[in-house]
Amino acid sequence: MSAFSRFTPLISALPSTVPFVGPEALERQRGLIVQARIGANENGFGPAPSVLETMREQAGEIWKYNDPENFALKGALAAHLGVKPANIAIGEGIDSLLGLIVRMVVEPGAPVVTSLGGYPTFNFHVAGFGGRLVTVPYVDDREDLDGLLAAVKRENAPLVYFANPDNPMGSWCDADRIVAFARALPESCLLILDEAYSETGPAGSLPDISALIDLPNVLRTRTFSKAYGLAGARVGYAIGLPETVLAFDKIRNHFGMNRLATAAALAALKDQAYLAEVVGKIHAAREQIGTIARNNGLLPLASATNFVAVDCGRDGAYARAIVDGLIQHRVFIRMPGVAPLNRCIRISVGPERDLNLLAEALPKVLKAIG
């Protein structure tokens, strides 16, 4: 019996891959230690002191499984958002929720609509469950809502993914446009509205909860990984109608949530003063990244996220050379993977120390590559 015959034809045909190369892997490959970790869209300012204190206090309880119903976190999120606990599903970060949604909706060969160059982990899940990606190019570095809608109707797609604010370009759409897009979709098509960066966008970019909560074909996904500074804790949630949300219970890992991570999320939600403070730091860091870019003849794009996409003015090879050059200076950043977006680099916000390292290294790299 060959090794491959143990697996389904789908799994046998897929490559073994990791959608992102982490800074840890680069450290191992290059024999260096990253000093400025500003590439993974993490929040380098970290979680609130109250969150860390809660985790320390409850560390002794880690021998216990987490509540499989996530009762407390659902209730706290529902009160915060002005919905009912039945409108909330909890998962191990948005990435886990995306996998569950794809599994719930997509049959082998089914068309799934997304933007060309958008979030690759979503594409990874679609491939893993046998879906057929239908991609729509960005227009002027923004996701094309009209193009996505046309593709859904043309393909009779059961699923469409749209991120607002967007990763990897940092752009955003006004709330009214998003609501109109959601309501124009066929009832047979489920919309994943990925709002991972919802806390860092400008006023008017985030639809009110009430604007979409009545639609059974909309799931909004959010996270504690970005503004709340808990990327390593892996806590995400989805918002939708109870009958839509209930489907998660059919397939989710009921004991998948980490007990300390759940306690951290509860504490983070209580500390809205710290959230407001850190969002201010994120905005200031975006401005600092923009200044560094302009000082080096590069063009920062407007951003509603905790990162800035910077147009390097040439092609993907040139942007890749900048990324590779910066890592040699122990500065970790990333870049979009699909042309023409890959003419850009993407720099996450971080403490001033990290951005000062970027400011020092970037002109050296640009001079070296010519």
pLDDT score at 1: 45
State yes or no: pLDDT of 120 exceeds 70: yes
Report d(CA 108, CA 132) in Å as an integer. 8
Confidence of residue 5 (pLDDT cuts 50, 70, 90): confident
263 pLDDT above the threshold of 80: yes
Q: Has residue 154 got a pLDDT over 50?
A: yes
What are the pLDDT digits (tens) for 160-189? 999 999 999 999 999 999 999 999 999 999
Which two three-digit tokens encode residue 71?
A: 């009762």
How confident is the model over 316-324, as a mean pLDDT? 98
Give me the helices (H) in the chain, please.
Answer: 9-13, 23-30, 49-58, 71-81, 93-105, 120-128, 145-155, 175-184, 209-212, 242-245, 259-270, 272-295, 316-328, 352-369
Q: Over pLDDT 70: what percentage of the chain?
A: 99
C-beta neighbour count of 248 within 10 angstroms: 20
- Candidates 354, 325, 339; CA nearest to 141 is 339
Q: Write out pLDDT tens, residues 44-67.
A: 999 999 999 999 999 999 999 999
pLDDT tens-digit series, residues 201-227? 998 999 999 999 999 999 999 999 999
pLDDT at 324 over 70: yes
Tell me which residue of 187, 180, 194, 146 sits closest to 305, measured CA to CA. 194
Give me 370's structure tokens: 């010519």
What type of residue is 346? R
Amino acid at 51: V
Q: What is the mean pLDDT of residues 101-115?
A: 97
pLDDT at 3 over 70: no
Averaged pLDDT score across all residues of the chain: 96
Tell me the pTM: 0.96
CA nearest neighbour of 152 among 193, 116, 184, 105: 184
HEC sequence for 117-156: CCCHHHHHHHHHCCCEEEEECCECCECCHHHHHHHHHHHC
Q: Is the pLDDT of residue 338 over 60?
A: yes
pLDDT, one tens digit per residue, over 12-25 is 999 998 888 899 99
Domains of the chain: 3-46+273-369 (3.90.1150.10), 49-271 (3.40.640.10)
